[in-house]
Amino acid sequence: MCHSTRASAVPVVPDSEGTESNPFSLDALAVFMYRVLQRVNHPGNLDKASPNAGYVLLMFYNLYDGKSRREFDSELIERFGSLVKMPLLKSDRSPLPDPVRSILEEGLSLYKLHTKRHGRLESTKGTYAKEWTKWEKQLRGILSANAEYLDSIQVPFEFAVKQVSEQLRSVAKGDYQTPITEKRKLGTIVFAAASLPVTEISIFLHKLGQINPKVESFLKDKDLEHNLRKAHVTLAHKRSHGVTAVASYGPFLSRELPVELTALLFTDKMAALEARLGCVDDEKVESRNEWPHVTIWTGEGVLPKEANMLQQLHSEGKATRVEVDPPATISGTVEFF
C-alpha cells in the first residue's frame, strides 16, 4: 500500500513506562479498560454492552507479553524507521488504587489459566466461564468506583492530539531523530549516509547562484539559511536495501569521504544536488541509491525522499538541471542514522 501510494507508515502508540515484561503498565491497562467500558455503539462491538470486554482487553494486552517497553519501541523503530508516542498518563499521578491493581492482576492470572487450557477460546465458553462472568462484573464495579481517579490521571485529549500532530509533522519533514539508546543496536539503525557540513553546502549554493541566473532566481525565496538544517548523501536505507546493505558501510564509519557535487536539479516542489562519491583509503564508496544526491529543499507537504524522483522528472522535461563544471568537492563523514 505504501509503495502504490508513495506514503510512509508511521506507528503511533500510547506512551507508557511499561513493566519488565510488557510495554504497557497496569495504569495504562486500567485506563484502556475504563475507556472501552464507557463506549457505546462501537463498530466492533467492543464497548460497555460487550459481556467479555475485559477479557478482550486482556487478550490485547497479552499480545506483547514478555517484551519490555524498550524492546517494543526498538522493534517498531527498526521496522518503520520512526515512532510516534501518544501521551496517555500524567507523570505526576498518584499510584494505582489497590482495588484496581488487584482486579487487573486477578484478571491476568485468570487469563493465563484460561489460555493454558483453552487457547484462544472465548471466555464465555470455557471451563472458567463462571469465573469470567464474576470477574467482568467486579471489574466494571471497581473501575466505576474509581472513575474520578481514572479521569484525573489522563492527559487532556487536546494535548495528546497536539503532541501526536507535531511528531507526525516532524517525521514527514524528515526531522525525526532516532533515540541514541536505540542506535547502539545495529538492528535499529535506519540508514547509512555521508553527512555533509551544511555551511559549506550553503556557501556553494550561494556562489552557484552568483554565476547562474536560473539558480539565483530559484534560491531567492527559499531561505536556505534557516531551512537547510542538515545535508547528507544516503548510502543505503534499510527499508529499500536491507539491513545487510546498511551494515556493509560499517568499515567506513566515522571516516572522511570526499563528495563531488556535479549538478543542481529542481522543480517548484523540491531541489537536490547530484553527488558523486569518492574513496576511503583508495576504496571507492558506492551508494545503493540509483541516483546519489543531497536533498537541499522540499516544499510544504513534500517528503525529502521524493527528491529521488528528480533525475526521472528531468528526463521527462519536468525538472531543471544545472551542471556544475567543474564539480565542487566537499568532505563528508560516513555515519549511521
Residues 77-100 pLDDT 10s:
877 778 999 999 998 999 999 999
10 Å CB burial of residue 249 (0-12, 13-18, 19+) is buried
Which amino acid does the sequence have at 70? R
Residue 161 sits at the vertex; the CA angle it makes with 156 and 167, to the nearest 5 degrees, is 130
What is the pLDDT at residue 3?
A: 55
With a cut of 70, list the residues of the chain below it in pLDDT.
Answer: 1-6, 178-188
Q: Cell 529542481 maps to which residue?
A: 266
pTM score > 0.75 for this model?
no
Residue 235 CA to residue 242 CA, distance in Å, equals 12
What domains are defined for the chain?
A: 2-183 (no CATH), 189-336 (3.90.1740.10)
- pLDDT of 303: 86
pLDDT at 76: 85
Three-state helix/strand/coil letters over 210-276: HHCHHHHHHHCCCCHHHHCCCEEEEEEEHHHHCHHHHHCCHHHCCCEEEEEEEEEEECCCEEEEEEE
Q: Phi and psi for 103 in degrees, rounded to 5?
A: -70, -35
Q: How many CB atoms lie within 10 A of CB 71?
A: 14
Name residue, grid cell 467492543: 46
By CB atoms closer than 10 A (0-12, 13-18, 19+), residue 122 is: middle
Q: What is the pLDDT of residue 58?
A: 96
Measured in degrees and rounded to the nearest 5, phi and psi for residue 325 equal -135, 115
pLDDT for residue 65: 86
> Minimal CA–CA distance to 332: which of 229, 189, 232, 265?
232
Counting Cβ atoms within 10 Å, is residue 85 exposed (0-12), middle (13-18) or buried (19+)? middle
Give the pLDDT confidence score for residue 186 in this predicted structure: 47
The pLDDT value given to residue 184: 42
Pairwise CA distance, residues 33 & 43, whole Å: 17
Q: Give the residues across from 232 on adjacent strands.
A: 195
Q: Identify the residue whose cell numbers are 498518563.
A: 89
- What is the pLDDT at residue 95? 93
CA distance from start to end of the chain: 25
**Cβ atoms within 10 A of the Cβ of 308, count?**
18
**Gap between the Cα atoms of 334 and 277, Å rounded:** 11
Which residues are within 8 A (CB) of 255 and not within 5 positions of it... i.e. 6 or more apart?
A: 280, 281, 333, 334
d(CA 99, CA 310): 61
